[in-house]
Structure 1
Amino acid sequence: MTGVVGLHHVQIACPAGSEDRLRAFYSGVLGLRELPKPPELAARGGCWFALGGGQELHCGVEDDFRPARKAHPCLLVADVDATAAAVADSGGAVRWDTAIPGVRRFHTDDPVGNRLELQQASRAS
């Protein structure tokens, strides 16, 4: 029997030439480690980041780019308050969301306008 056993990466779109802004946000603000892309894929632009647990976030160049306003990845963070402060200090919006009881989370936008959710990781994980 076949079946899904996990998640390797999520890809979000970005416009050509936005890599430096994305690196400043994903590495500089959120602290993600950039991953090298294979040479054939690096020629296409974009950038990849390690999320931990073997999972990755890929930013891929899309010719007719439009930011994702509804669809979004949710990144688990060790300290949601510190992450919110880092985002705010960088000039990013922090939109707290209390719609799910017991879940501390906020939404923001990356430098190219893609929606992101950042959620407090469970203390048990």
Structure 2
Amino acid sequence: MKQDGKLDYLEMGAGGGSIDSVKAFYSAAFGWTFTDYGPSYSAYSEGLDGGFDGDVAATTKPLPVLFSENLEKSLDAVTEAGGKIVKPIFSFPGGRRFHFTDPAGNELAVWGE
């Protein structure tokens, strides 16, 4: 149910070019599916929660964080799909995670318990 003032959508860049490589990456690494709206826009529906990080070392851009039941398997899938690991698996309060960039240069994280 949509509600006023609630996060509803997360839009990321596709690197200014064809979105085919970004779609192929997320499909291969995480099984995402897409709905195309013209030649330069494609939507996904994969869930959304959020938080704020007040650490001065935190990224200054929004950081989408995906969940994984098996962090090592997800790291391998990201690497095999062409993602670049920018922070290897590390522990944080609540679990473990890693950060990667996709073919368009967007940084995301994957976490697991």
Unpaired runs of 5+ residues, structure 1, are 56-68
Q: Structure 2 length normalisation: TM-score?
A: 0.69
Describe the SS at the equivalent of 2:10: strand
* Equivalent of residue 88 in structure 2, options 70, 91, 96: 96
Distance in 1, matches of 2:28 and 2:60, equals 24
Q: What residue identity is the alignment partner of 1:107?
A: H
Describe the SS at the equivalent of 1:29: helix
- 1:36 Cα offset (Å): 4.0
Assess if the C-alpha contact under 8 Å between 2:65 and 2:108 holds in 1: yes
Alignment: residue pair count: 99
Distance in 2, matches of 1:75 and 1:83, equals 10
Q: Structure 1 length normalisation: TM-score?
A: 0.63
The alignment status of 1:8 with 2:8, answered yes or no, reads yes
* Equivalent of residue 47 in structure 1, options 38, 42, 50: 42
Assess if the C-alpha contact under 8 Å between 1:18 and 1:112 holds in 2: no
- 1:96 Cα offset (Å): 2.2
Inter-CA distance 115–34: structure 2 relative to 1 (3 Å threshold)? same
Distance in 2, matches of 1:33 and 1:81, equals 22
- 1:78 Cα offset (Å): 2.9
Unpaired runs of 5+ residues, structure 2, are 49-58
Q: Quote the residue 1:59 is aligned against.
A: none
